[in-house]
Structure 1
Amino acid sequence: MSDQLPPQPLSGTELSARLRGLAAQGAAPATGAQARSRAQRRRRSRRVALFVTALAAVALTAVTSGALGSATGAAVPPAASVSHTPTHAPSPAPVQRVTIDLDAHTLTIEGRRFPISGLQDNRPIGERAVTVTAKHPALTLPPDKFSEYVPRMQWAVTFTDRHHHERLLMWALDPSAGLNGIGHDSGAGSIALAPQAGKWVYDVIRPGARVEIKGRQAASADPDSVCYERQPVTGGH
């Protein structure tokens, strides 16, 4: 059993004296309003501390990610630079030029000139500039309706006329036919060359060649049915 005596209750005078002493020392108990204000300040302080901590964590993450990204980027070799130097397409081959002079009875191609047969007055070619369409080692034309002669041409070169018909432009005389027509106006709608010259021209001339036809041509002509060399070429004929 304790030997201490139980505390004696304070009288009103003693309690008032003690409270005044505490107030004088600044330790007086807070009122209800003061207690609530202090609690609010403590809560605000805790929230600010949590917010600052969260911001610090975000900043640390960003710095770490940036450092990792820099390290990763440094490890990847730079992409090979693409050259922007323009590439030049090869220039198209120049158009081959050929000149037929009906008055001089000559054909000029690749710097060489050959004698030709000219055109009969009533059987002109009817064109001043044509483009070579095709070449035929041998070509059989429709027969002459009056004489039933069947023209057979070798080393024939053709063009397409304004009516979109393929027509004979030049050919080489058969060696057995002689050279009677060379240098004279004997062609029936096309020109002819000597055998060796005709073969050389046939080999050199290219489809797409532009042929200028100079010299006199009759303004009118017999019908194409009469000018067998003016007949449209179809297939091997």
Structure 2
Amino acid sequence: MSDQPPPQPLTEAELSARLRGLAAQGAAPATGAQARDRAQRRRRGQRVVLSSTALAAAALTALASGALGSVTNASAPPAASVSHTPTPVPSPAPVQRVTIDLEAYTLTMEGRRFRISGLQEDCPIGEKAVTVTAKHPSITLRPDRFTKYVPRLQWAVTFTDRRHHERLLMWALDPSAGLNSIGHNAGPGAVALSPRDGKWVYDAIKTGARVEIKGRQAASADPDSVCYERQPVTGDQ
């Protein structure tokens, strides 16, 4: 047991003096109301700290989830795209082109030029450009009504006119007929080549070839009975 005597209670005057001294030093003890207010503030501060901690933890969880999702999405291969590019179509083969010059008496094709006979003025072909539709090794036309001459033509090349009639375009002279008509207007409705040239052109020209006919042609013509080479060609002959 302590040998010190128990403390003597302070008198009211001593207690007031001590309280004034503490107040002067800024350390006055709190009253009961002040103590309760301080306790409530501490509890609210603890709740705020706990709420902030919970929100921070939730934010970290969301951030981690987002990061993981980003990594997962980045690692996933992109979906294969469907190509809608149209399949290229090969260009059509160029059309064979042939030029007949009635004033120069020439036929040009495949880089070669051949001499021809021209058209009688009263028997024009009547077209500026035609398409080759058929070839015949030989054809026999209807007889000329005046001379009764029966035209038998070799290596004939034909086209289809505006009336949908197959017509003679060019042919090769008979070897025995001579070449007097070459370079002159002698054909009654079609052009003629020499026997050798006519065979070469016949072999080289293709069905579908586009033939340009240059030079002057008469605006009107005698009937087919006169221009017998303008007669429609019928069937294989």
**Which TM-score band (shorter chain)?**
0.5 to 0.7
SS of the residue 2:153 aligns to: strand
The CA deviation at 1:88 is: 3.3
The CA deviation at 1:82 is: 9.3
- Partner residue in 2 for 1:228: 228
Distance 1:204 1:90 in 2: 25
- Partner residue in 2 for 1:141: 141
- Partner residue in 2 for 1:192: 192
Report Cα offsets for 1:143-165 as digits up to 9, x if no partner.
11111111011000000011110
Distance 1:88 1:225 in 2: 53
Report Cα offsets for 1:124-173 as digits up to 9, x if no partner.
11111111110001111111111111101100000001111000000001
- Partner residue in 2 for 1:154: 154
Q: How much identity, in percent, do the aligned residues show?
A: 80
Q: Map of 1:7-26 to 2, 5 A cutoff?
A: none
Distance 1:174 1:84 in 2: 61
Aligned length: 158
- Partner residue in 1 for 2:119: 119
The CA deviation at 1:180 is: 1.0
Distance 2:204 2:91 in 1: 21
SS of the residue 1:117 aligns to: strand
Q: Map of 1:1-237 to 2, 5 A cutoff?
A: 87-237=87-237
Letter in 2 for 1:180: N
Letter in 1 for 2:208: G
Q: Is the 8 A contact 1:134 1:158 kept in 2?
A: yes
The CA deviation at 1:219 is: 1.1
Distance 2:139 2:105 in 1: 23
Letter in 2 for 1:111: G
Distance 1:161 1:170 in 2: 14
Distance 1:221 1:196 in 2: 30
The CA deviation at 1:236 is: 2.9
Letter in 1 for 2:147: S
Give 5+ residue unaligned stretches, structure 1. Answer: 1-80
Letter in 2 for 1:154: Q
Distance 2:84 2:219 in 1: 59
Report Cα offsets for 1:41-66 as digits up to 9, x if no partner.
xxxxxxxxxxxxxxxxxxxxxxxxxx
Report Cα offsets for 1:14-41 as digits up to 9, x if no partner.
xxxxxxxxxxxxxxxxxxxxxxxxxxxx
SS of the residue 2:201 aligns to: helix
Q: Is the 8 A contact 1:140 1:236 kept in 2?
A: no
Distance 1:97 1:104 in 2: 18
Distance 1:129 1:121 in 2: 18
Report Cα offsets for 1:180-202 as digits up to 9, x if no partner.
11011000000000111101111
The CA deviation at 1:90 is: 3.0
The CA deviation at 1:87 is: 4.3
